[in-house]
């Protein structure tokens, strides 16, 4: 299939079937570079039944099919018939997954994180992939009163404390936000794994397929804490955040997260904390009363050398 026809089929599928924000061409162009990604497609006549976007990158001498930066989920996305039985759904998933997997290009290593609604990892397992279970927290939309009741007492106190000294603005810009985000990495003595140009491209791509929002917490007109949200038709995702070290005790980060949860609820959308396997971050997320939700990471190492490296670690 010619690249322009494939892209047209892929784009139309995303427009008609509303996959997560990270599957849309505008997002992939922003995080990978325009035209620097591809997708496996399964067609039935003129109708696209399933897609799986991917990006190939060189890492030294190795070719890696992996996750683009700031992209929490990819993997397969399927078109299901209405009112399908569970047994038929499993058979359909297996067939479509197998067709998608067979189209992936050769790579020394393959690594993907599936959206939490894509729960069937068996076709990947049967194709020789290793499966790892990872976790995020989800908060379903509800009334502000019900959501407040779900909060831990410590988070409520932080929010009340912050409300007395922090002003929340939904008109933040990328430059202000990135300074706060970078400060968090510096405090942890870690290199930030992306640059401001990438964040600018994502923000600029915000539009019809997904929306980006930057919320800033200000104290005396100074931006001290920020949060970067991505929104599609079903969920609001916490993508990035940051707080200046000297303002960590103000509760600004908790207040921003709370306002983000309320924003998602107003839009009748699920709030997705986007997951973390670090205990300190997971404990902070769970304090907001979300439901622990598993998603799959699938990985396959084809290089004998990389397989050997894994065995001695």
All structural domains of the chain: 3-134+295-312 (3.40.630.30), 142-268 (3.40.630.30)
**Given this model, what pLDDT does residue 279 score?**
84
pTM, to two decimals: 0.94
**Counting beta carbons within 10 angstroms of the beta carbon of residue 229, is it exposed (0 to 12), middle (13 to 18) or buried (19 or more)?**
buried
**235-243 vs 270-272, strand pairing mode:** parallel
Report pLDDT for 271: 98
* Rounded Cα gap, residues 176 and 58, in angstroms: 32
pLDDT value at position 313?
Answer: 57
Tell me the CB-side half-sphere exposure of residue 36, using CA atoms within 13 A. Answer: 14
Looking at residue 234, its pLDDT comes to: 96
pLDDT at 37 (0 to 100)? 95
pLDDT at position 80 is 86
Terminal-residue alpha carbon distance, the chain? 42
pLDDT tens column, 174-211: 999 999 999 999 999 999 999 999 999 999 999 989 99
CA nearest neighbour of 168 among 236, 214, 231, 237: 214
State yes or no: pLDDT of 233 exceeds 90: yes
Instruction: Express each pLDDT in 237-260 by its tens digit.
Output: 999 999 999 999 999 999 999 999
Residues 159, 165 contacting (CB under 8 angstroms):
no
The yes-or-no verdict on residue 280 having pLDDT over 90 is no
């Amino acid at each position: 299939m010619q690249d322009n026809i494939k892209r047209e089929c892929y784009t139309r599928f995303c427009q008609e079937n509303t996959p997560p924000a990270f599957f849309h061409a505008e997002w992939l162009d922003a995080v990978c570079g325009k035209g620097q990604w591809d997708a496996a497609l399964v067609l039935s006549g003129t109708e696209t039944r399933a897609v799986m976007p991917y990006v190939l990158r060189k890492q030294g001498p190795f070719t890696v099919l992996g996750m683009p930066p700031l992209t929490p989920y990819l993997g397969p996305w399927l078109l299901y018939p209405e009112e399908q039985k569970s047994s038929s759904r499993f058979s359909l998933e297996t067939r479509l997954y197998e067709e998608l997997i067979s189209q992936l290009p050769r790579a020394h290593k393959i690594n993907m994180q599936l959206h939490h609604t894509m729960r069937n990892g068996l076709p990947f397992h049967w194709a020789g992939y290793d499966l790892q279970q990872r976790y995020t927290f989800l908060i379903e939309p509800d009334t502000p009163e019900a959501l407040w009741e779900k909060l831990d007492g410590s988070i409520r106190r932080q929010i009340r404390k912050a409300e007395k000294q922090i002003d929340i603005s939904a008109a933040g810009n990328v430059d202000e936000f990135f300074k706060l985000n970078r400060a968090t990495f510096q405090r942890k003595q870690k290199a930030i794994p992306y640059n401001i140009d990438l964040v600018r491209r994502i923000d600029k791509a915000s539009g019809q397929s997904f929306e980006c929002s930057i919320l800033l917490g200000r104290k005396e007109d100074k931006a001290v804490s920020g949060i970067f949200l991505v929104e599609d038709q079903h969920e609001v995702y916490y993508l990035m955040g940051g707080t200046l070290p000297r303002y960590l005790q103000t509760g600004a980060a908790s207040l921003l997260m709370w306002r983000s949860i309320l924003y998602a609820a107003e839009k009748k959308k699920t709030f997705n904390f986007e997951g973390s396997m670090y205990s300190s971050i997971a404990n902070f997320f769970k304090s907001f009363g979300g439901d622990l939700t598993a998603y799959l990471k699938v990985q396959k190492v084809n290089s004998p050398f990389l397989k050997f490296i894994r065995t001695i670690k």
